[in-house]
Structure 1
């Protein structure tokens, strides 16, 4: 799969920009604040129907303007695919594929597989469990529509159950029959999600360890540990056991929406015991493993976005990443960097065709 061309109108700080891309490596270089990352984010937007960096849709419209439009022309399995995302203030976002609008943006997920590696990924280490769950969900959803469907339904029922708990507290009442209906639905969807997450990680963790070993030259042992309430008991039982606590808290305290991943280096959390270089290598290995998993399940090379990847990494780690990127197992790659000369010298080592765009 290849993104042939990209057109932007009023996206973030970019007024009107068009690009014709190389089928292998594309380098977008320029000073900080000029819009390099925004171009990569627009490409991400075409795959996921949203920004990677700012989930508030209207804040992606250029300041002082009323709308944005992103247009991408792809070739996938030798067929043209045209995707357009547009948003006007006060209106619903519109996403079209080959001129046909989607009823639901979620229907588009997985059509244009993509992996992004960015400094913002550090949130996976330093932020709460919600960020790590979203990472798992993003990887699985690109190759499993039934997972995404179950996740959407679970979150909808969860919101309804939480609203009911608040209603009970406000009105000093309680109806166990109504709660039981929500418990049954959460158990139904939650069990599917838990099983798929568990199966995914059994495949994903060995791939991740191989990637980290290559990047770090075998210096460190790393691990991912999946934490879930559902390892203990069925969700229905847990919900019934925790009902008094939930009534007090006015929200659902157990379930797959509390799942987490522990990131370890040695036998210790990388958040506390990993150096900046080790943490960055850990995150890059996570994302390259994501690439491998999606490729394995989708049968196509995802587009790979490398945003400001060469900062804070030593020469060896950079060399290892360039060596990996140069392999034929990768498809189309987009790199943003502040130093044109550094970028060109690095991509030349990959021995692939490339284009440099100076902003």
Structure 2
């Protein structure tokens, strides 16, 4: 699978622009602010029907325009597939494949597997638990549609339970039987989520540690741990114990929507004790492990987007990173960088076909 061509219309800072791509390495070079990352985000859009960087879809429409459109032409098993994502102000986003409109975007997730490595990934370290849960869910969902549907169902029931708690508070009433209906559903979906996240991390963590070892020349030991309230606990008992707290807070304080990951380097939190270079290496290893996992599950090489990848990495780590992608384990790569000479020097060493676009 590879992306042959992309066409952008009124997408972010682009009025109308098309790019024809190489099957292996494609580089976007230019000064900051010219739109290199926007092209990568457009490619991301075609896999997930949303931006990696901006959750407000209408803000991806070019200033002064009423709509945007991103179209990609993919070669998949020697057949051409066309995917179009578009949005008109005031209307719902539309996603089409080969002319057919998707009723549910979730049906598309995993069809065009993709991994992005970006400076924005630092949110995985510095932000709250929701960011890390979304990372886990994104990795599993690209190869497990049942898991994605379970997450969507869980979140819907969670929102209903929270609304009921707010209703109780506003009307000074309480109905334990009604609340228990939602508890039972959250238990059912939550146990599936907990089980799949546990099994995923059992497989994923060794891959991640091996990836970090390759990037850092084994200079540091890294690890991650799954934090969940469901470990060795019965969720219905947790609901009972947290009932009064939930009624005061007016939201559900226990469940898999509170899961988290702990990131460590040499036994200490990466957030506090990791240098900028170590944190970046940690995140790159995390994302390359994501690539490995998705590839092993789907038997397809995901598209890999490397946004501003060389910033804050010393020469030895850049060398290690490039050596990792210089083999047949990887498919199509897209790289953005501000230094054209540096980029060309690095990609030339891969002995792969490449194309450089000056933005």
TM-score range, shorter chain: over 0.9
What is the Cα deviation at residue 224 of structure 1?
0.7
Match of 2:116 in 1: 116
Q: TM-score, normalised by structure 1?
A: 0.99
Q: Establish whether residue 6 from structure 1 lines up as the match of residue 6 from structure 2.
A: yes
What is the Cα deviation at residue 232 of structure 1?
3.3
Output one character per residue of 1:294-352: Cα deviation in whole Å (capped at 9) or x when no partner. 00000010000000000110000000111111111100000000111110000011110
Match of 2:147 in 1: 147
Matches within 5 A, 1:117-266: 117-266=117-266
What is the Cα deviation at residue 75 of structure 1?
1.0
Q: Give me the whole-angstrom Cα distance separating, in 2, the residues matched to 1:317 and 1:152.
A: 39
Match of 2:43 in 1: 43
Q: Give me the whole-angstrom Cα distance separating, in 1, the residues matched to 2:120 and 2:255.
A: 27
Q: Establish whether residue 63 from structure 1 lines up as the match of residue 63 from structure 2.
A: yes
Q: Establish whether residue 25 from structure 1 lines up as the match of residue 9 from structure 2.
A: no
Match of 1:334 in 2: 334
Match of 2:313 in 1: 313
**Please, what is the CA RMSD of the aligned residues?**
0.6
Q: Give me the whole-angstrom Cα distance separating, in 1, the residues matched to 2:68 and 2:184.
A: 42
Match of 2:349 in 1: 349
Q: Give me the whole-angstrom Cα distance separating, in 1, the residues matched to 2:45 and 2:29.
A: 20
What is the Cα deviation at residue 240 of structure 1?
1.9
Q: Give me the whole-angstrom Cα distance separating, in 2, the residues matched to 1:202 and 1:353.
A: 36
Segment of structure 1 superposing worse, 238-247 or 42-51: 238-247
Q: Establish whether residue 283 from structure 1 lines up as the match of residue 302 from structure 2.
A: no
What is the Cα deviation at residue 234 of structure 1?
2.2
Structure 1 consecutive aligned stretches of length 4 or more whose deviation exceeds 2 Å: none
Q: Give me the whole-angstrom Cα distance separating, in 1, the residues matched to 2:147 and 2:80.
A: 27
Q: Give me the whole-angstrom Cα distance separating, in 1, the residues matched to 2:237 and 2:22.
A: 55
Q: Establish whether residue 73 from structure 1 lines up as the match of residue 44 from structure 2.
A: no
Output one character per residue of 1:220-273: Cα deviation in whole Å (capped at 9) or x when no partner. 000010000000312222112211110111000000000000000011100001
Give 5+ residue unaligned stretches, structure 1.
none
Match of 1:90 in 2: 90
Give 5+ residue unaligned stretches, structure 2.
none
Match of 2:101 in 1: 101
Q: Give me the whole-angstrom Cα distance separating, in 2, the residues matched to 1:224 and 1:12.
A: 36
Segment of structure 1 superposing worse, 77-86 or 203-212: 77-86
Mark the CA change 1:77 to 1:163 in structure 2 (over 3 Å): closer, same or farther: same
Q: Give me the whole-angstrom Cα distance separating, in 2, the residues matched to 1:343 and 1:296.
A: 29
Q: Give me the whole-angstrom Cα distance separating, in 1, the residues matched to 2:148 and 2:236.
A: 21
Q: Give me the whole-angstrom Cα distance separating, in 1, the residues matched to 2:236 and 2:9.
A: 49
Q: Give me the whole-angstrom Cα distance separating, in 1, the residues matched to 2:358 and 2:128.
A: 37
Output one character per residue of 1:42-92: Cα deviation in whole Å (capped at 9) or x when no partner. 000000000000010000000110000000000112222110000000000
Q: TM-score, normalised by structure 2?
A: 0.99
